[in-house]
Amino acid sequence: MRRTGFLYDERYLLHRTGSGHPECPERLTAIFAGIASSGLLEKVRRITAHRPDLAWIEAVHPRDYIERLEQACLNGETEFHGPDNQMCRATFQVALLAAGGILDTLDLIMSGELDNAFCAVRPPGHHAEPMYAMGFCYFNNIAIAARYLQKRWGIGKVAIVDIDVHHGNGTQLIFEADQTVFYYSIHEHPTFAFPGTGREFEIGRDKGLGYTKNSIVVPGQGDEIYRFLLERDLVPALEMFRPEVILVSTGFDAHADDDMADLKLTTEGYAWVMRKIRELADRFCGGKLVSILEGGYCLERLPELGRDHVAILLGD
Amino acid sequence: MFVTKAMTRKVVTVRPEDNLLDTRALMKSHKIHHIPVVEEGNKLVGIISDRDVRSAMPSTLYYESGSERERVKLEKFKVRDVMTKNVITLSLRDTVQDALLLLLKYDIGGLPVVDGDGRLVGILAVRDLLRALVSVLGIGQPGSLLCLLVDDKLGETKKIVDIVFEEKIPIGSILVARHWEPGKRAVFPYLMSINVGSLKRKFQEKGYTILDPEEWYLEDVERTKEERVP
């Protein structure tokens, strides 16, 4: 069995998005319930969050943006950069704790206390651009994590594997000219799904040319195409790149029962995808793998998806 | 949309007495295929395309491009020798729709825009139209596309817009394909939001068919292995 961390902090439930909003606190409690009820809590190392040094947020977001988000929360505003991003007075603090908890988790991985981890955080991050909140995301958690690994732990090469059904436009934008962070994403075809980026011809630019890779899934497709595309695109990309750590933007919204998008990945399909990523982490990074929650909105499916995810990290 | 909204205003121009080698170099450095030819006072007198230049050049099979021999010969040839003199132009009152129809009708790639005195004020090339199309479709902005099948009768698109409005989702664009299948239309609202799950549920509850793209755009082509999966 592997030493697996599980970041879950009840303060992540304090980010309130209003009634009927899909990015709701119940997403996290559903994931937690699935993990707890299958007896996995005793097998993982529980992690709670600390507020991070703002300098780590500033490695991705300009101070001006951070201050404006804080100000909007203090003013009691209920949305930020458009109606998708509903928020409350606690949102700024919760968003900081999401990033902070991830950094705490990375410390445990890098100091050798843990092999891998699942960070069940809210709000999600992969749509957030340095200066722009988007698609329920305020701080780009995974980008902050990659920069932290590089600056705090001296890691040279970080691979980000994004399996959310939506393209992580923010993450891609942040690293598109950077050859030290490989961004791979598999998602629904951008003509149909938000945000409309992540086309196959987006492959990075300048020094980062060839260090961005997007795999496109046409609406209605599921397990088989995921197997096909991960083998065809992700495996050779990582063989070329040889990452030292793999970070995963885990979105459970490609599931067939999730109506935020149109893909048909099954619960078993998700398990296959995660085992494949774990296998790649074993091959290239001595198993060092940190999964960070992004989307996933089907409250009925999240318990089993969260349970399987943690079970696979533990070595199942 | 009037052409002045979409045209390029900083136009690269040549004079009739300029030579073809310089003109070719201008096209290359600016990555353009058409250059309006102007005289004193920016008066439009012609247009020269990369095709005009190329057909005036000796074959590269005989002369190495950029060779001394080619240069000496080509310096003698002027823009006025090969330019198109009867230029099809746009006026300031013309619209992007006019431009699309004109380009199609004459099978050309660029239209100079002139004022009432025949002075060049801009150019509308295919590239400008593509930019305008991206803007009209709204796809430069983040959003999600819905594909709905409705009856081919008056008021169906309005109902769809009303439902989207009730959910408070901004619309980036809405396309309607009138002849989808007998008695049906396809409506494609591009929504400026990630949050389309409850809207889709609402459409389904109200009896709308959400089109499965898998069924319509790959149906009559032979698929490769990748496309056949699953």
Q: A287 CB near a chain B CB, below 8 Å?
A: no
Q: Which run of H or of E encompasses A138? A: none
Q: Does A82 touch chain B (CB under 8 A)?
A: yes
- Of B85, B115, B134, which closes a domain? B134
Q: Please provide residue B191's backbone torsions phi and psi, each rounded to the nearest 5 degrees.
A: -105, 135
Closest CA to A248 of A224, A275, A221, A227: A275
**Residues of A known to be catalytic:** 127
How does pLDDT run across A209-253, given as a tens digit for each residue? 999 999 999 998 999 999 999 999 999 999 999 999 999 999 999
Contacts of A225 (CB under 8 A, 6+ apart): A217, A218, B229, B230
**Angle of helix A91-110 versus helix A63-74 axis, rounded to 10:** 130
Inform me whether the pLDDT recorded for A295 exceeds 80.
yes
> Is the CB of B175 inside 8 Å of chain A's CB atoms?
no
Nearest by CB: B229 against A166, A224, A260: A224
Residues B16 and B63 in one domain: yes
pLDDT band at B136 (very low <50, low <70, confident <90, very high): confident
Q: Which of B137, B139, B169, B195 to probe the A interface (max A CBs under 10 A)?
A: B195
Question: Minimum mean pLDDT among B80-84, B95-99, B167-171, B213-217: which range?
Answer: B213-217
Amino acid identity at A209 = L
Task: Outline where chain A has alpha helix (H).
Answer: 25-37, 54-57, 63-74, 91-110, 141-153, 169-175, 223-229, 235-241, 267-285, 302-314
B194 in a structural domain: yes
Q: Check whether the bond before A195 is cis (ω within 30° of 0).
A: yes
Question: Tokens at residue A36, please?
Answer: 């707890």
Q: Are B34 and B49 a contacting pair, CB within 8 Å? A: yes
Least confident of A83-92, A289-298, B58-67: B58-67
Residue B223 lies in a domain: no
The residues pairing with A250 across neighbouring beta strands, listed in sequence order, are: A293
Closest CA to A115 of A286, A237, A239: A286
Predicted pLDDT at B153:
87
Amino acid (1-letter code) at residue B68: E
The share of chain B scoring above pLDDT 70, in percent, equals: 88
Same domain, yes or no: B43 and B155: no
Q: Is B196 on the interface with A (CB under 8 A)?
A: yes
Residue B24 shares a structural domain with residue B105: yes
Residue B162 belongs to domain spanning:
144-216
Over residues A123-171, the pLDDT tens digits come to: 999 999 999 999 999 999 999 999 999 999 999 999 999 999 999 999 9
Say whether both B198 and B150 belong to one domain. Answer: yes
AA letter at B168: K
The residue from B101, B134, B167 where one domain ends is B134
Same domain, B34 and B130: yes
User: What is the C-alpha to C-alpha distance for residues B34 and B36, in angstroms, rounded to an integer?
Assistant: 7
The rounded distance, in Å, linking the Cα atoms of A293 and A230 is 20
Please report the pLDDT score of residue B185 as a whole number.
87
Alpha helices in chain B (DSSP H): 3-6, 20-30, 50-56, 68-75, 79-82, 96-106, 126-137, 156-166, 197-205, 213-216, 225-228
Per-residue pLDDT tens over the stretch A16-64: 999 999 999 999 999 999 999 999 999 999 999 999 999 999 999 999 9
The reply to whether B49 and B20 lie within a common domain is yes
Does B65 reside within a domain?
yes
Strand pairing of A45-47 and A4-7?
Answer: parallel
Specify the residue for token string 């497709």. A221
CB spacing of B226 vs A84 below 8 angstroms: no
Q: Which residues of B touch A22 (CB under 8 A)?
A: 195, 197-198
User: Among the three residues B91, B111, B134, which one is the final residue of a domain in this structure?
Assistant: B134
Q: Is the dihedral of CA B199, B201, B203, B205 positive or negative?
A: negative
Chain B positions touching A135 (Cβ under 8 A) are 142, 194
Same domain, B191 and B90: no
| Domain-located, residue B17 | yes
Residue B199 and residue B206: Cα distance in Å, rounded?
11
**Residue B84, domain member (yes or no):** yes
Of A111-120, B28-37, B147-156, the least confident? B147-156
Give chain B's domain count.
2
Residue A9, pLDDT > 80, answer: yes
The residue ranking higher by pLDDT, B170 or B179, is B170
ipTM of the complex: 0.82
Encoded tokens for A198: 């992540």
User: What's the rounded Cα separation, in Å, for the pair B91 and B98?
Assistant: 10
Residues B26, B120, single domain; the answer is yes
Best to test chain B binding among A259, A300, A302 (most B CBs inside 10 Å): A259
Q: What is the pLDDT of residues A63-80, one digit of tens each?
A: 999 999 999 999 999 999
Q: What is the CATH number of the domain that holds B168?
A: 3.30.70.260
Contact A218 B218 (CB under 8 A): yes
Same domain, B52 and B116: yes
Mark whether B30 and B121 lie in a shared domain: yes
Question: Would B207 be classed as within a structural domain?
Answer: yes
Q: Does residue A107 surpass a pLDDT of 70?
A: yes
Q: Is A291 helix (H, G, I), strand (E, B) or coil?
A: strand
Closest CA to A292 of A145, A120, A166, A150: A120
For A4-314, the fitting CATH number among 3.30.470.20, 3.40.800.20, 3.40.50.2000, 3.10.20.30 is: 3.40.800.20
Domain assignment present for B229: no
CATH of the domain at B37: 3.10.580.10
On the question of pLDDT at B88 being above 90, the answer is yes
Q: What is the mean pLDDT of residues A83-94?
A: 97
DSSP conformation class of B19: B
